[in-house]
Chain A
Amino acid sequence: MKLSMGPQHPITGHFRFILDVDGDLVIKLDPDVGYTHRGIEKLAEKRTYPQNLPVIERTNSYCDSVGTMLGYLEAVEEVLGLEVPERGKYLRVIAAELNRIASHLYFLSLGAVATGFETMLMWTINDRELVLDLMERLSGQRITYTYPIMGGVRFDMPDGFKEEALKRLDYLGKRIEDYYTMAAKNHTFKMRMMKVGILKPSDAIRLGIVGPNLRASGVKADVRKDEPYEVYDRFDFMIPTGKNGDSYDRVGMRLKEIEQSISIVRQAVKDIPKGAFKKWAPYIVPKGEAYTRVESARGEFGYYLVGDGGIKPYRLKLSPPSFRNLIALPHLCRNVPLGDVPIIFITLDLIPMDVDR
């Protein structure tokens, strides 16, 4: 029997799945994408480089807007041959890592919805608000910041930000332990998550999965370590990896990554250098091309930019992490019970707007 799931559904968001079911067993899953296609790549050709910033940001404005924009800025700055001041780089890293924490907390809240775990939903969203407050102090917005700009960041760190950040991060660190006790060690949660949607390392590499989903399968790959951008090579952090590659590991991966992000922000806030935080950047970008990749919250985000010596890009190609991870969904949703489909979908952390662009 054919079954249609979404787009009006509490789990799927903007997606629609066409399921082939036999009783309770899902035989095949077809993701129906395109509900949020805006043509960002085409629009980017019509706008100037600074005007493109909010457009690119809304590829993944859900939570990880800074991580999304960094790659574009890296590409533009590579073509321009522009060096960002040290303080600007540190502020970018702080914003990106705070964003990653917020994004992972949002992921955990979705995981709570998928398992019917209302308490955890309230906890995670409330803790996410604390991080958003910090970002609001830094940039003046709650979720779409447009904080990094060409040649640095928009605003300097405000007074008292450091103390407030350290205080809140200490609190978040304690909360992570609470999450472990409440969710990761919870019997019901374990039963719903463990051995559901097992992604083997060989399959993950073959399908081209990126980000925390790949690391949950046990493959150590992180752009922050492999090919450090900004100032990530100066911080002491590790890449957590999972063992089994099931949904439980993918949730645990996010909890571990929040811990690492907290440690990075702590280090960055402590040894941030003094000086200028932005630099004047020319509007006209010379002829040239660049490919950059960054580690956004959902994985590796690739950008290919071609400039033709004008004020607008000639071509901008985006390769978002959710688009790469989407292929894992039909792969994992073969011969599973219907009740497992939301769990697999949520733990892959797919964002429809990322997929469609």
Chain B
Amino acid sequence: MLEKVREKLMSIRFLRRILNWGRAWSLWSVHLETGCCGPEDMARACARYDTERFGTLPFPTLRECDLIFVTGFVTKKMAKRLKLVHEQMPSPKYIIALGNCAISGGLWWDSYNVVQGIDEVLPVDVYVPGCPPRPEAWIQAIRMLQEKIKKEGLDKK
């Protein structure tokens, strides 16, 4: 019953737009570092690049987060934990893959312990190339994801 009401409400374009707007501007990112882009994560969150302007706040608890930054390469051991973190997060959840290593293995293309592209494990929304990507590129990725979220559920009819 509740599901039906919810679906009915969400089919109203105006309400859907408000919901999408809210989701797009409060993307809290979970604190999980997988590779070498970690310091840039700090740089983009702090004084100069300050992504909190766009509603992206690094947050310790994954239960209240909607965004994972896959920062760099993902080893086989870390991939299991990454999947676990992704499963534990509440829906809707989004993933931004940062760095060549997360996209296709990058520098570690022949390493025996690195996952060759994170899309083998998880669905990725935005890819950002670079080694490591500059904080400006992170901000662009966040903006692209926001544009994507704003269009969600509005393409029908």
A243 touches B (CB below 8 Å): no
Contact between B46 and A38, CB atoms less than 8 A apart? no
Q: Which of A7, A39, A121, A353 contacts B36 (CB 8 A)?
A: A353
Contact between A58 and B46, CB atoms less than 8 A apart? no
Secondary structure at the A interface, as helix, strand, loop or mixed, is: loop
Contact between B113 and A37, CB atoms less than 8 A apart? yes
Contact between A38 and B108, CB atoms less than 8 A apart? yes
B155 touches A (CB below 8 Å): no
Chain A residues, Cβ within 8 Å of B78: 7, 14, 35-36
Contact between B42 and A125, CB atoms less than 8 A apart? yes
A166 touches B (CB below 8 Å): no
Q: Which of B35, B40, B108 contacts A143 (CB 8 A)?
A: B40
A301 touches B (CB below 8 Å): no
Write the chain A residue with the least CB distance to B81.
A7
Contact between A144 and B36, CB atoms less than 8 A apart? yes
A61 touches B (CB below 8 Å): yes
Contact between B38 and A13, CB atoms less than 8 A apart? yes
Contact between B75 and A9, CB atoms less than 8 A apart? no
Interface residues contributed by chain B, number (CB under 8 Å): 34
Chain A residues, Cβ within 8 Å of B85: 8
Contact between A43 and B108, CB atoms less than 8 A apart? yes
Q: A14-B78, A35-B77 are in contact. Are A122 and B108 (CB under 8 A)?
A: no
Contact between B112 and A42, CB atoms less than 8 A apart? yes
Contact between A9 and B31, CB atoms less than 8 A apart? yes
Chain A residues, Cβ within 8 Å of B46: 109, 121-122, 125-126
Query: Contact flags (1/0) for B33-65 with A, using CB distance below 8 Å?
Result: 111101110110011100000000010101000
Interface residues contributed by chain A, number (CB under 8 Å): 35
Chain A residues, Cβ within 8 Å of B113: 37-39
Contact between B111 and A38, CB atoms less than 8 A apart? yes
Query: Contact flags (1/0) for A134-146 with B, using CB distance below 8 Å?
Result: 0000000011100
Contact between B81 and A58, CB atoms less than 8 A apart? no
Query: Contact flags (1/0) for A28-55 with B, using CB distance below 8 Å?
Result: 0000001111110011001000000011
Chain B residues, Cβ within 8 Å of A123: 47
Contact between A106 and B131, CB atoms less than 8 A apart? no
Write the chain B residue with the least CB distance to A133.
B48
List B1-57 residues whose CB lies under 8 Å from chain A. 30-36, 38-40, 42-43, 46-48
Write the chain A residue with the least CB distance to B85.
A8
Q: A9-B60, A144-B131, A144-B132 are in contact. Are A58 and B107 (CB under 8 A)?
A: yes
Contact between B134 and A142, CB atoms less than 8 A apart? yes
Contact between A122 and B107, CB atoms less than 8 A apart? no
Q: A14-B34, A142-B40 are in contact. Are A46 and B62 (CB under 8 A)?
A: no
Count of inter-chain pairs, beta carbons less than 8 A: 91
A62 touches B (CB below 8 Å): yes
List A105-158 residues whose CB lies under 8 Å from chain B. 106, 109, 121-123, 125-126, 128-129, 132, 142-144
B87 touches A (CB below 8 Å): no
Task: Quote the shortest CB–CB distance from A16 to chain B (angstroms).
Answer: 8
Task: Quote the shortest CB–CB distance from B94 to chain A (angstroms).
Answer: 17
A309 touches B (CB below 8 Å): no
A109 to B39, CA, bound (A): 10
A58 to B72, CA, bound (A): 11
Contact between A7 and B114, CB atoms less than 8 A apart? no
A10 touches B (CB below 8 Å): yes
Chain B residues, Cβ within 8 Å of A109: 42, 46
Write the chain A residue with the least CB distance to B40.
A143
Contact between A129 and B43, CB atoms less than 8 A apart? yes
Q: A125-B46, A129-B48 are in contact. Are A37 and B75 (CB under 8 A)?
A: yes
Task: Quote the shortest CB–CB distance from B51 to chain A (angstroms).
Answer: 13
Chain A residues, Cβ within 8 Å of B108: 38, 43
A123 to B46, CA, bound (A): 9
List A304-357 residues whose CB lies under 8 Å from chain B. 353
Q: A10-B60, A126-B46 are in contact. Are A62 and B36 (CB under 8 A)?
A: yes
Q: A8-B85, A38-B108, A144-B132 are in contact. Are A14 and B33 (CB under 8 A)?
A: yes
The 8 closest A-B pairs by CB, nearest first: A125-B46, A126-B47, A10-B60, A122-B47, A61-B36, A8-B32, A10-B31, A35-B78
Seed contacts A129-B47, A142-B40; 9 additional CB < 8 Å A-B pairs: A7-B32, A7-B33, A8-B32, A36-B73, A37-B77, A43-B110, A123-B47, A125-B43, A143-B39
29 A-B residue pairs with Cβ-Cβ distance under 8 Å, sorted by A, are A7-B33, A9-B31, A10-B31, A10-B60, A13-B33, A14-B33, A14-B34, A14-B78, A35-B34, A35-B75, A35-B78, A36-B78, A43-B108, A54-B107, A58-B36, A62-B36, A106-B39, A109-B42, A122-B47, A123-B47, A125-B43, A125-B48, A126-B48, A128-B43, A129-B47, A129-B48, A142-B132, A143-B40, A353-B36
